[in-house]
Structure 1
């Protein structure tokens, strides 16, 4: 936690000099308890910028390729970030996710699994809903937008938490989880539509 706070402080100073960060929907952030934070993904800096403005520590699920460097892997692990294999079902990533939530922590995930330029609800992965429901955790949708050009504005908006408690005791299929994951992704992109008055 100490390392996370130190890195977060340094990153906050640096990135607030490089970008004009604007935050909306802070009132939707829960101050305690388990939470799955789900965001769209447009740039490699997304998790850093979201973590800077989020008041609690976020344990991110990240692609395994960035863990190839031993030094970077060590730092990421110390900060609560863990790898996931996007090419196949990664049981260890699911187990790590559930561990974070069991400890009443915040898990950060990009439902589309990779960076995308345009919304496609079909990109939603069933594992996102599976983790949320198995851990009996609410989901907080996040929408991030910006060109990421130096000194440009980057807007981070937090939507209202999604509650799946009505499904905690039900026996669900992979298709059920896929549909719930689509709902999550739809909630993320609906944040933009609401702000634009669509």
Structure 2
């Protein structure tokens, strides 16, 4: 049920957003065809989750702020779109467990490491939860850059980078904070290139 609704919703949203924002996808070929993927993107608009959702080659499971799951109709829709709640501003063990399970099941976990939208479009510091997921699993870590602005009929780019090699960091028992910084540097590089 969820996947068919996901596919239906992806088609509808794609049909609306792609013509308005002239969405151009760069680097889609870098996206692993199977296995767990930790998809890490910058965050500049409320439209980022649907834009990443329609441009990623595989279904994405997003962490979404808990407040969205309190809105009666919305909570059913976003659950059917593979989203799960996370309490912001604290260590949410349940959300961490859910995220790890998604990656270990070979699915795609989508995260906006900044935790909130950037008001000026500049990449902010990432939260350590991203590094935690990257270090605790063998999932591919794919950086993504949304290059705006979101203006009707102006091109919006979604750039997927090559998977980041985390093996050395995993072996060195790097801290989640350092792993997050490493991932953020790859997102920054994509933003600068495009």
- Fold shared per TM-score above 0.5: yes
**In the alignment, what sits opposite 2:58?**
56
Work out which of the residue numbers 122, 125, 128 in structure 2 matches 1:126: 128
Aligned to 1:182: 181
Number of residue pairs matched by the alignment: 190
For 1:162, the equivalent position in structure 2 comes to 164
Q: Which consecutive aligned stretches of 4+ in structure 1 deviate over 4 angstroms post-superposition? A: 169-172
SS of 1:2's equivalent in the other structure is: helix
| Equivalence for 2:20 | 18
Consecutive unaligned residues of structure 1, counting only runs of 5 or more, are none
Q: What SS does structure 2 have at the residue aligned with 1:83?
A: strand
> Following TM superposition, by how much is the alpha carbon of 1:158 offset from its aligned partner in structure 2, in angstroms?
0.7
Deviation per CA, 1:14-61: give whole Å up to 9, x if none: 112221011111221111110000000000000101111111000001
Deviations 1:177-196 (A, max 9, x none): 1011011111101012233x
8 Å CA contact 2:28–2:57 kept in 1: the answer is no
Q: What secondary structure is seen at the aligned counterpart in 1 of 2:10?
A: helix
Match of 1:192 in 2: 191
Deviation at 1:171, TM superposition (A): 4.6
| Alpha-carbon distance in structure 1 between the residues aligned to 2:116 and 2:141 | 19
Shift of 1:141: 0.3
- Provide the TM-score with structure 2 as the length reference: 0.92
Distance 1:167 1:185 in 2: 14
> How many angstroms apart in 1 are the aligned matches of 2:140 and 2:116?
22
Distance verdict in 2 for CA 1:18–1:103, change over 3 Å: same
- Counterpart Cα distance in 2 of 1:16 and 1:194: 22
Q: TM-score, normalised by structure 1?
A: 0.91
Asked if the contact 2:41–2:146 (Cα under 8 Å) also holds between the matched residues in 1, the reply is yes
